[in-house]
Every structure is written in C-alpha cells, then in structure tokens.
Chains A and B, each alone.
Chain A
C-alpha cells in the first residue's frame, strides 16, 4: 500500500492535480455512501465509535451540531434531511 498522505501514486488518477482534503473525504466516506450490512459487520454504532476515537481529528458525532447559531433559515421546514 502506498504511503498515506502522499499524492495518488497512479497515472490513472482522473484529476492528478487535485489532492483532496482528507477531512472532506472522510465527511463523505464515513457519513455518506450507501450503508450495507456486509459480511464483516461493523455496525453503524461502531462507525460512530470510530468517529469518537478520532475525536481530536474529526470531532463530534452529533447530528445536531450543524452551526453555532440557531438556524440559518428554518431548517425544520421539511426540505432537509
């Protein structure tokens, strides 16, 4: 496995000049994506535990922790999930 943190080691990288911030990637890979129960079962709760363990790095699994003010627009307007 290639060294972590380095640029993609392959010429096949579609956008070779783009080194994506790991935190933006983890936002998507740990809380986005289709959740399937694979054969090696790490339950959603376990993934949350992973997030807790990475607390210093990623912080706060609270779904409510969206912004420091009450709401930018009424978020309870049923338009968001």
Chain B
C-alpha cells in the first residue's frame, strides 16, 4: 500500500468520550479501522475517519472509480456501515460519499473552522430519524399489456387496434390518478408526524428494480419518539389504491437532512 490519506465519514456528537471505543473493530472503507478526530476547542464534536490508499482516492483515480459500480458499491456500503454504527449510539451528520483529506490534521482544521455550525445542526437533529417513502405505479406500460382482441367483433382491425390502445391508455391514466391520490394521502399522513421533507429524484434505470414505475421518492425527518407511528400511518394511508405500491425504507441516519434546510421547514417545532 502506498501513502494513506484520510477518508471522512461523518461528524458526530461524542458527549461522554466513549464513542471511539464503540467503533473499535469496525472496518471502514478498504477495511481500515475507524477512529475519531477532535479539536482542542470542543471535544464533544468529532469526525469519524479512516485511512484509505492515496492511489485510489486521488482525483483522477477517484473519478474513474466512482464510475465503477462494484467499487462504488463497496465504498458506499462501507461508508453506510460506519454511519449506522455511529447513528446507533449518537447523533450523526453523514458527509457526502468520498470526502477525503490529505491527513487527520487537515480534518482537524476543517472541524475547527466549522465547529459551531456542526454543533448546531447536531443539536437540531438529535433524536430524529429519516424515513424514505417511495410510491410506484404498477399498472403495465401501454405496450406491455396483453393484446386482447377487441370485445367488439365487427370492428375493422384498424379500429379494433385503436380501441385497444385507447383502453390501455385509459388504464394507465387511471393508475396515475390512483397514484396521485395515494401520494396525497401518504403526504398528509407523513406531514402529521414529520418535521421536514426532501424530495429525491425518482428512481429509474437498471438499479431501480422492482415492479412498477417510481413516481415519488421522498425522505422525511421524523422525531424518534414518533418513528414507528410514522411508518404505521404512512402504510395505512397507502391502503386501498389498486395498482399503486408504497414502500417505506429506513429508519436511516439523517443523510438527506445533514445540511439545514434553506427554506422553511415543513412544520416548525414549538418554540
């Protein structure tokens, strides 16, 4: 292995100084052990870091690696493993994938500069979890449904075809309407419990396996005490919509909320 540089996973609250011990034995990216970097000014806000081979994380190499799905997945899962371990014990601000510094001293300098902002956001996110809510339209696409012959036998083939296509289109429009209704129900239920929401891109492409078309891909920030209620309420609100599937993922560390909202939050906590 060549020189090692420092991969930073997250900022976390280490209230009683016990966090490092909790991380012992946990392999990070490249299976290296994870440790904590802290500043002299305030020891309770720390950055979780592990050494990674410089050759893999130099700019050109990194850019190339990020396009290699196997490499990306192994780093993403290692990153997530560390975040989960931290989140199981304390409040955590995940950093964007592949945030890399030349050494721990550079991490410490970064932490020093941003200490107050990190501490504030950690306080805001304490005892909150993120839930993902995805809505799928499951009706078959127009060109996938079985080509049933028209019910009206006296139609010409051309007219029968058009009639068939029209029926397909209507079925699809109905499914979208159902999904829109479901999305409203789900959103109302979610807003009853959540304090913030972020909308992710809808999932498409090869990785978006699973039946149906993803039409909503949201993340909600939910107080820990209401975490189970959120899931229950959302799943209940999603019942009774044929052709529509709602998935709840999580609970996640607050990945989607690590940076404070610029706009007004969904619902302000009472002052």
Bound together, the chains give a CA A25 to CA B184 distance in angstroms of 25
Q: Is B205 a contact partner of A4 (Cβ separation < 8 A)?
A: no
B235 at interface, CB cutoff 8 A: no
In the complex, residue of chain A having the shortest beta-carbon distance to the beta carbon of B253? A28
Q: Is B201 a contact partner of A80 (Cβ separation < 8 A)?
A: no
Name the A residues within 8 Å of B106 (CB-CB): 39
Q: Which of A25, A30, A40 contacts B100 (CB 8 A)?
A: A40
A20 to chain B, nearest CB (A): 7
Name the B residues within 8 Å of A80 (CB-CB): 197-199, 263, 266
Q: Is B74 a contact partner of A4 (Cβ separation < 8 A)?
A: yes
Number of interface residues of A (CB under 8 A): 61
1/0 per residue, CB under 8 A from B, across A21-43: the answer is 11111111111111110111110
B5 at interface, CB cutoff 8 A: yes
Q: Is A4 a contact partner of B73 (Cβ separation < 8 A)?
A: yes
Q: Is B73 a contact partner of A28 (Cβ separation < 8 A)?
A: no
Main secondary structure, interface of A, reads: loop
Bound together, the chains give a CA A31 to CA B70 distance in angstroms of 19
Bound together, the chains give a CA A30 to CA B97 distance in angstroms of 6
Given A26-B76, A69-B180, check contact A54 B69 (CB 8 Å).
yes
Residues of B near any A CB (own CB < 8 A)? 5, 8, 11, 25-27, 29-31, 57-59, 62-63, 66-67, 69-74, 76-81, 84-85, 88, 93-102, 106, 110, 114, 132, 176, 180, 183-184, 187, 197-208, 213, 215-217, 219, 249, 252, 255-259, 261-266
A-B residue pairs in contact (CB < 8 Å), sample of 22: A3-B74, A4-B74, A12-B26, A14-B84, A23-B203, A26-B72, A31-B256, A33-B258, A34-B258, A38-B99, A39-B5, A39-B102, A40-B59, A42-B98, A47-B66, A57-B205, A58-B207, A62-B201, A79-B197, A79-B264, A81-B261, A81-B262
Residues of A near any B CB (own CB < 8 A)? 1-5, 8-10, 12-15, 20-36, 38-42, 46-47, 49-50, 53-63, 65-69, 72-73, 75, 78-81
